[in-house]
Amino acid sequence: QVHLVESGGGSVQAGGSLRLSCRASGYTYSSYCMGWLRQAPGKEREGVGDIYTGGGSAYYADSVKGRFTISQDNAKNTLYLQMNSLKPEDTAMYYCAAKRGYCALDPVNAEYWGQGTQVTVSS
C-alpha cells in the first residue's frame, strides 16, 4: 500500500510563507495523481491542488491560485506545496493525498492519505 507522510506545517503571520513536504513510499502503480487537500474546523474538506506524476501542469483551487505552487522531486519521492502570501483563511489541517491514474483529486476519490500537518496563519 501507498504510505504518505507530511511535514512542514507550523504557525506564521499573514503574508508569510511555508513549504509543506509529502514523502511517498510503497507505491507500485506507474503513475498517480498526487496533491493536497485541507480542512478547517467546522468546514468540509476541500482540494488545494494536484499534479499528475506522469507529467503535466498542476491544478489549483481558485482560492489559492497565484499563491500556492505544487512541485515534485521524483528522486526523493516527495511532493511539495509552497505556500506564499498566506492568509488567516488558509488556516487548516493540510493533507497529502493520492489516487491511481489521472487527476482531479478530491476528498471522495482520494485513495491514500497522509496523517496531516497543521498550518495556522495569524492576522
Give the tens place of pLDDT for each residue, 57-115: 899 999 999 999 999 988 888 999 999 999 999 999 999 999 998 998 999 999 999 99
Q: Yes or no: say if 50 and 99 are a contact pair by the CB < 8 Å rule.
A: no
* Mean pLDDT computed over 1-27: 96
Sign of the CA dihedral 63, 60, 4, 9?
negative
Quote the pLDDT of residue 40. Answer: 97
Q: What is the mean pLDDT of the chain?
A: 95
Q: Is the dihedral of CA 22, 61, 89, 45 positive or negative?
A: negative
Confidence of residue 27 (pLDDT cuts 50, 70, 90): confident
- CA distances from residue 92 to 3, 72, 119, 120 in whole angstroms, order as listed: 21, 22, 6, 7
pLDDT for 30 beyond 80:
no
For the cut 90, the answer to whether the pLDDT of residue 25 exceeds it is yes
